[in-house]
């Protein structure tokens, strides 16, 4: 194998040796140029303290990928093939080291070890060949065996690493998570389309020529590289949102009724000394004399009617008794009864 050996692995070129045999594949590399240019401008807009040599290295590598791919799709030989794949491989190794050390804060020693391990897996994947009824490494492959998935199998380790890195970033709520996750999804689609280039060669025709799907791989990969470079500008961690607790509706604090200070037991009002009510003097005390007067008068009435001569003295006695009773209103009833007796005795 020499550096000038022709390479015919894409639908658009077929077996044509002309320089301009893959115009669409060559022009589609402009996507890498735009990705590098836009990211470069984003870096220049950042304050100097937020820039790093890694950012400028990413820009240089993407420009190298752009020009190497253009050269390969124009000349299509082993020399230009190396110009195409080497910048891609270097970008993958550099970005993996950056992601591990700067985004995931993996110690430098472990970062170097993992990057070397990844390089070995990628090289081994590129040697996997497929043939009718078998899959194996190139050393034991029969004649006519080709690289599996139209050469896309060598990019599967990179896809696996992107999946793991995006999951770890998401777990840590890193600000770069959305960019790396989006890049992972787009990269999976681009690998699929690269693998189907020869299978759908005659299905996609532009101006009467078969083009296949390889040019879509270029455009999607330009998006992947831009997203990864954009993620490198996010080196912080999102603060965890404070859990929102549903607060019950605040009720106006009820005024606590303070227990009234127990007043000293009121001195029980002593029952007012009831003044002894003056017992009403029975009216009978005054009346009995009158009755007594009437009684003898009634008793003497028949005698007067009979014309007795003793009426005069009785009248005098009764007058004396009444004269004695008038001044004695306050005397007890016994005196009244005594008066009655005297009145009775007066006629004798």
Rounded distance between C-alpha atoms, residue 225 and residue 180, angstroms: 10
Find tokens 């009833």 and name the residue.
333
Give Cα separations from 104 to 90, 113, 143, 160, 348 (angstroms): 20, 15, 45, 16, 152
Tell me which DSSP letter residue 174 carries.
B
Q: Is 214 assigned to a binding site?
A: yes
Do the annotations mark residue 73 as ligand-binding? yes
The tokens for 132 are 């009718």
3-state secondary structure of 86: helix
Q: What is the DSSP letter of 137?
A: E
Rounded-to-integer distance, Cα 228 and Cα 178, Å? 10
Helices of type H across 99-176: 108-125, 156-171
Closest among 156, 152, 153, 162 to 96, alpha carbons compared: 162
Query: Distance between CA 96 and CA 55 in Å, rounded?
Result: 14
- Provide the CA 295 distance to its chain's centre, in angstroms: 115
Alpha-carbon distance of 91 to 72, in angstroms, equals 18
Ligand-binding site membership of 129 (annotated) = no
Annotated binding-site residue? 22: yes
List residues forming the annotated binding site for Zn(2+): 73, 214, 218
The binding site comprises: 22, 73, 214, 218
The annotated binding site for Ca(2+) is made up of: 22
């Amino acid at each position: 194998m020499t550096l000038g050996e022709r390479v015919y692995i894409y639908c658009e070129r077929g077996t044509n040796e002309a320089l301009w045999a893959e115009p669409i594949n060559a022009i589609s590399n402009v996507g890498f140029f735009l990705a590098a240019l836009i990211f470069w401008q984003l870096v220049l807009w950042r304050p100097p303290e937020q820039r790093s040599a890694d950012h400028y290295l990413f820009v240089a590598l993407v420009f190298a990928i752009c020009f190497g791919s253009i050269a390969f799709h124009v000349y299509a030989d082993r020399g230009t093939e190396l110009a195409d794949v080497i910048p891609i491989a270097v970008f993958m190794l550099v970005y993996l080291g950056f992601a591990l050390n700067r985004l995931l804060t993996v110690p430098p020693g472990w970062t170097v070890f993992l990057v070397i391990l990844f390089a070995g897996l990628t090289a081994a994947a590129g040697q996997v060949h497929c043939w009718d009824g078998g899959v194996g490494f190139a050393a034991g492959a029969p004649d006519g065996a080709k690289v599996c998935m139209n050469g896309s199998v060598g990019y599967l380790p990179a896809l696996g690493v992107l999946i793991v890195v995006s999951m770890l970033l998401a777990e840590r709520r890193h600000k770069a998570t959305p960019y790396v996750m989006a890049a992972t999804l787009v990269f999976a689609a681009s690998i699929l389309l690269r693998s189907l280039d020869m299978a759908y060669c005659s299905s996609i025709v532009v101006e009467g020529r078969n083009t296949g799907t390889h040019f879509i791989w270029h455009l999607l990969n330009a998006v992947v590289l831009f997203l990864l470079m954009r993620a490198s500008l996010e080196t912080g961690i999102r603060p965890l949102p404070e859990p929102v607790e549903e607060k019950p509706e605040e009720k106006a604090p009820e005024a606590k009724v303070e227990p009234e200070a127990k007043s000293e037991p009121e001195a029980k009002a002593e029952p007012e000394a009831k003044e002894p009510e003056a017992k009403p003097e029975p009216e009978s005390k005054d009346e009995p004399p009158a009755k007594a007067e009437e009684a003898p008068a009634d008793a003497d009435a028949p005698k007067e009617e009979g014309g007795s001569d003793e009426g005069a003295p009785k009248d005098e006695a009764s007058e004396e008794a009444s004269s004695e009773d008038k001044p004695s209103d306050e005397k007890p009833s016994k005196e009244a009864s005594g008066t009655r007796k005297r009145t009775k005795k007066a006629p004798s």
